[in-house]
């Protein structure tokens, strides 16, 4: 009796077991590589290269974490990346919230083609924007400058964010603003005071995507930033892993320090992900 | 830029009390329109102009780039390497997206059932999406290490020491290693899209099917999949475009796309541009890739519309 309440009606015990088995295998495959970073990060230097598959290695130690912060410039890379990523998140949200609202609520000349243009930007290969911007930034003397990096990241993150937010605004009934107009509020006031608070989950998602995009980007950063002082996390980490033999454990510790904060952010916002993403695509 | 577009907005709000005028939408659209024009549209036009010029490391600082017409395009399209790489890119994209969608939809179907503990399972399954891509690529690269990588350790445990695969040294195998990595990376996105789609299917349809005595396979085939299609189609187009343009995974796993025989078009362009410094050539190459994707998406979306 209780069983039938918790599971789908009419499922046999065997079926339930099979479903769980499949899901557990999938979970193991999905989590294992992340655990692998964790395992390697705990290995002492003398047993870095071991063929053991134990998740917590023998003589587990945090020395790799200490080394990552002391021998390498991990703190500086973290700060640099934090600065760039936060700026990207802020600008990306400001730009995409307003544009998403306009695309959702108003009719204006070029609305349809504007939305299509945004989709088309997703088809640009990485070099499409990077190459001309690189040459333009060299001409302006802005290479090795975060402004260039932030500009590139913001422009790559807003198309997706505008679509995401437009989709979310579409689900907020227009009657809410209309009653605010009747009460004498302006379009801008109702936007700030009614729509923005209601859309906060989607805005949080957009900020997250902006932040994560910048936090995790390697290909553009590698070209634009070459100054040792200005390296961001991705370039620092990849360079570190280049010296595979010596620094594998330290690299893993640093990778975990990098990945865990964004993973926590992502997971805590993931419940909004289901609604937000589909609504965007359904209405599209 | 923000400050100067925002101020007039406030002033206007106070002066014209609320009624939406012809210009209202503009205040919302202008900030991002300006940014997009400056950092997308202008570079795009500049890129197209570069693609007709001879720009290399030698003359990049001179700011004078001689016009060469279609020479760059001709270079690329008469090179046999382009076609073999294009073929490999198509295989790469087709294999990846097929697995992303199949696994994604399959897992979403399971997760959409009543199941104790599914919230936790869902979190574990979306983790690959949350890890920065370059860390994913570096980690899998470590796991593909011939001697100490987890993948070969597991393989040799089952099939003996001779079964070890030279994942990173043989270009063919490193291409497969890159595919495995990228499949792992892309499933969560499709799963979440499919999950959202499944939740929007009205429950009454299934109840009606139950009354008619439909089997669960029949329900999936004639209710779930057809209703999932409009949700999945845009996601699939996006997935194809993203996979076609995926630089990170291949570039890192194949150690800077070292071998020609494990590259796709974008990694080849990236290498030509930033390691061989052939800027004009790479600009033309980027335009060609873009045109291929445009053509594909237009045809794909038209075909989908015709089908409906």
Predicted model pTM: 0.86
Q: Which of B31, B50, B297 lies nearest to residue A132, judging by beta carbons?
A: B50
A12 compared with A280, residue with greater pLDDT: A12
Give chain A's radius of gyration (CA, Å).
Answer: 24
User: Would you call A219 and B270 a contact, using CB atoms and an 8 Å cutoff?
Assistant: yes
What is the C-alpha separation between B16 and A284, in angstroms, rounded? Answer: 33
**ipTM higher than threshold 0.95:** no
What are residue B53's DSSP bridge partners?
Answer: B67
Residue A42, Cα to own-chain centre: how many angstroms? Answer: 26
From chain A residues 133-192, the ones with a CB under 8 A of any chain B CB are 133, 135-136, 138-139, 151-152, 154-155, 158, 162, 181, 184-189, 191
pLDDT at A254 over 80: yes
Mean pLDDT computed over A233-259: 81
B60 three-state secondary structure: coil
From chain B residues 286-305, the ones with a CB under 8 A of any chain A CB are 286-287, 289-290, 293-294, 297
> Taking the domains of chain A in order of start, what are their residue ranges?
2-61, 66-283
Calculate the alpha carbon distances from B65 to A199, B52, B56, B129, B282 in Å. Answer: 48, 9, 9, 42, 14
Phi, psi at B56, each rounded to 5°:
-135, 180
pLDDT value at position B305?
A: 79
Calculate the alpha carbon distances from B48 to A69, A128, B72 in Å. Answer: 44, 9, 11
pLDDT value at position A3?
A: 54
Instruction: Please list every residue in chain B whose beta carbon sits closer than 8 Å to the beta carbon of residue A165.
Output: none
pLDDT at A248 over 90: no
pLDDT value at position B102?
A: 96
pLDDT value at position A105?
A: 85
Residue that the structure tokens 């570096």 belong to: B138
Instruction: Please list every residue in chain A whose beta carbon sits closer than 8 Å to the beta carbon of residue B36.
Output: 117, 121, 155, 158
* Highest CATH level, class, for A66-283: mainly alpha
DSSP B196-247: HHHHTS-HHHHHHHHHTT--HHHHIIIIIHHHHHHHHHHHHHHHHHHHHT--
Task: Give the confidence band of A144 by pLDDT, cuts at 50, 70, 90.
Answer: confident
Residue B227 touches chain A, beta carbons under 8 Å: no
Of B209, B245, B230, B244, nearest to B301 by C-alpha is B230
Q: Which of B32, B157, B214 to mutate to test the interface with A (most CBs of A within 10 A)?
A: B32
Residue B82 touches chain A, beta carbons under 8 Å: no
pLDDT at A210 over 90: yes
Which residues of B161-208 form beta strands (DSSP E)? none
User: Would you call B115 and A7 a contact, using CB atoms and an 8 Å cutoff?
Assistant: yes
Phi, psi at A259, each rounded to 5°:
-80, -35
pLDDT at A163 over 90: no
In CATH terms, B72-307 corresponds, of 1.10.3720.10, 3.30.390.10, 3.50.50.60, 1.10.472.10, to 1.10.3720.10
Instruction: Please list every residue in chain A whose beta carbon sits closer than 8 Å to the beta carbon of residue B241.
Output: 122-123
pLDDT value at position A31?
A: 94
- Mean pLDDT over each residue of chain B, to the nearest integer: 86
pLDDT value at position A242?
A: 66
Phi, psi at B67, each rounded to 5°:
-75, 130
> Taking the domains of chain B in order of start, what are their residue ranges?
2-51, 72-307
pLDDT at A61 over 90: no
Phi, psi at B148, each rounded to 5°:
-110, 0
pLDDT value at position A277?
A: 59
Calculate the alpha carbon distances from B102 to A16, B95, B96, B108, B177 in Å. Answer: 21, 11, 10, 10, 19
Shortest Cα–Cα distance, A222 to chain B (Å): 10
pLDDT at A271 over 70: yes
pLDDT value at position A245?
A: 60
DSSP A269-282: HHHHHHHHHHHHHH
Instruction: Please list every residue in chain A whose beta carbon sits closer than 8 Å to the beta carbon of residue B107.
Output: 23, 26
Q: Is A269 exposed, middle or buried (0-12, 13-18, 19+ CB in 10 A)?
A: middle
B131 three-state secondary structure: coil
Phi, psi at B278, each rounded to 5°:
-95, 80
- Which residue numbers in chain B have pLDDT < 70? 1-22, 257, 308
Task: Give the confidence band of A246 by pLDDT, cuts at 50, 70, 90.
Answer: low
pLDDT value at position A201?
A: 87
């Amino acid at each position: 009796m209780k069983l039938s309440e918790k599971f789908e009606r009419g499922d046999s015990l065997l079926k339930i077991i099979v479903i769980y088995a499949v899901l557990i295998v999938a979970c193991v495959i999905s989590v294992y590589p992340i655990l692998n970073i964790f395992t390697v990060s705990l290995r002492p230097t003398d047993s870095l290269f071991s063929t053991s598959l134990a998740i917590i290695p023998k003589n587990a130690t945090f020395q790799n974490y200490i080394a990552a912060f002391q021998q390498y410039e991990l703190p500086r890379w973290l700060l640099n990346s934090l600065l760039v990523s936060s700026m990207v998140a802020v600008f990306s949200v400001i730009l995409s919230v307003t544009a998403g609202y306009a695309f959702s609520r108003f009719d204006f000349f070029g609305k349809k083609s504007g939305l299509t243009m945004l989709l088309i930007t997703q088809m640009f290969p990485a070099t499409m924007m990077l190459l001309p911007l690189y040459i333009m930034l060299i001409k302006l003397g802005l290479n090795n400058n975060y402004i260039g990096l932030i500009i590139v990241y913001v422009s790559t993150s807003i198309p997706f964010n505008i679509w995401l937010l437009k989709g979310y605004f579409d689900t907020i009934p227009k009657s809410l603003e209309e009653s605010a107009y009747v009460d004498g509020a302006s379009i801008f006031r109702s936007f700030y005071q009614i729509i923005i608070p209601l859309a906060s989950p989607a805005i949080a998602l957009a900020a997250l995507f902006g932040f994560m995009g910048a936090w995790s980007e390697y290909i553009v950063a590698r070209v634009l930033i070459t100054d040792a002082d200005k390296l961001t996390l991705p370039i620092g980490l990849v360079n570190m892993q280049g010296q595979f033999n010596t620094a594998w454990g330290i690299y893993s510790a640093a990778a975990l320090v990098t990945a865990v904060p964004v993973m926590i952010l992502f997971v805590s916002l993931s419940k909004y992900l289901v609604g937000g993403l589909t609504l965007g695509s359904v209405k599209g | 830029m923000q400050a100067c577009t925002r101020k007039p907005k406030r002033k206007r709000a106070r002066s014209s009390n609320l009624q939406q005028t012809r210009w209202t939408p503009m205040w919302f659209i202008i900030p991002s329109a300006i940014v997009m024009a400056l950092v997308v549209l202008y570079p795009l036009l500049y890129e197209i102009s570069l693609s007709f010029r001879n720009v290399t490391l030698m003359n990049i600082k001179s700011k004078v780039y001689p016009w060469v017409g279609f020479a760059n395009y001709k270079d690329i399209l008469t090179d046999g390497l382009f076609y073999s790489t294009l073929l490999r890119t198509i295989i790469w994209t087709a294999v990846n997206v097929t697995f992303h969608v199949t696994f994604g939809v399959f897992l979403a179907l399971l997760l959409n059932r009543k199941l104790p503990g599914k919230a936790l399972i869902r979190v574990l399954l979306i983790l690959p999406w949350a890890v920065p891509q370059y860390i994913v690529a570096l980690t899998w690269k470590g796991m593909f290490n011939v001697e100490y990588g987890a993948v070969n350790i597991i393989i040799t445990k089952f099939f003996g020491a001779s079964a070890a695969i030279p994942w990173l040294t043989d270009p063919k195998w490193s291409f497969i290693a890159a595919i495995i990595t990228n499949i792992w990376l892309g499933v969560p996105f499709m799963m979440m899209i499919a999950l959202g789609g499944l939740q929007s299917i009205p429950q009454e349809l299934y109840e009606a099917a139950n009354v008619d005595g439909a089997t669960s396979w029949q329900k999936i085939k004639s209710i779930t999949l057809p209703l999932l299609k409009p949700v999945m189609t845009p996601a699939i187009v996006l997935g194809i475009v993203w996979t076609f343009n995926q630089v990170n995974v291949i570039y890192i796993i194949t150690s800077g796309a070292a071998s020609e025989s494990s590259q796709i078009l974008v990694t080849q362009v990236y290498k030509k541009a930033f390691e061989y410094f052939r800027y004009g050539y790479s600009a033309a190459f980027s335009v060609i890739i873009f045109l291929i994707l445009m053509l594909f998406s237009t045809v794909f979306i038209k075909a989908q519309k015709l089908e409906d």
